[in-house]
Structure formats: C-alpha cells, structure tokens
Amino acid sequence: MARPDVATCRGYDQYGEPVTLTGGGTFGRCLQHETDHINGTVFGDRLSARSRKQLYRRFDAVPRSIPQPGP
C-alpha cells in the first residue's frame, strides 16, 4: 500500500500546548514511519506476503549470538 505524499501529526509539547507538524518528502515518510511504531506496525507488516516470507527467511538465517569482548 502506497503512503500518502504528506503527513500531519498532532500532539502536545512538554508544556501541554498543542503542536501540529506537517511534512512531505522524507520528513513526511519519517512521520508516518514513527506513527506506525506507535500503532504497533513494523516494516515487515507493510510488505506483500511473498516479500514478508523472504524477509523472515533472511532474518532466521542471521546468527543470534553476540560475540563477547576479548580479554
């Protein structure tokens, strides 16, 4: 699903005053991306079923162990 060209976010600043941000281009995409996170949506959720399966196969192939620092 294609994203809209412009995004508007409304909220409140640290003093309780209303704030409205509107952005297009890269900033608009960032606003939409972060709003997705607030709503529990991640990158893989926006992919087609085929692309999502490929993403998960690649993810499963990555080793999960974190090397310990040397002596």
In angstroms, rounded to a whole number, what is the distance separating the alpha carbons of residues 61 and 35? Answer: 29
Q: Please report the DSSP string for 28-62 in residue order.
A: HHHHHHHHHHHTT--GGGGS-HHHHHHHHHHHHHS
Active site residue 34: yes
- Catalytic position from the list 19, 34, 51, 55: 34
| Active-site annotation, residues | 34
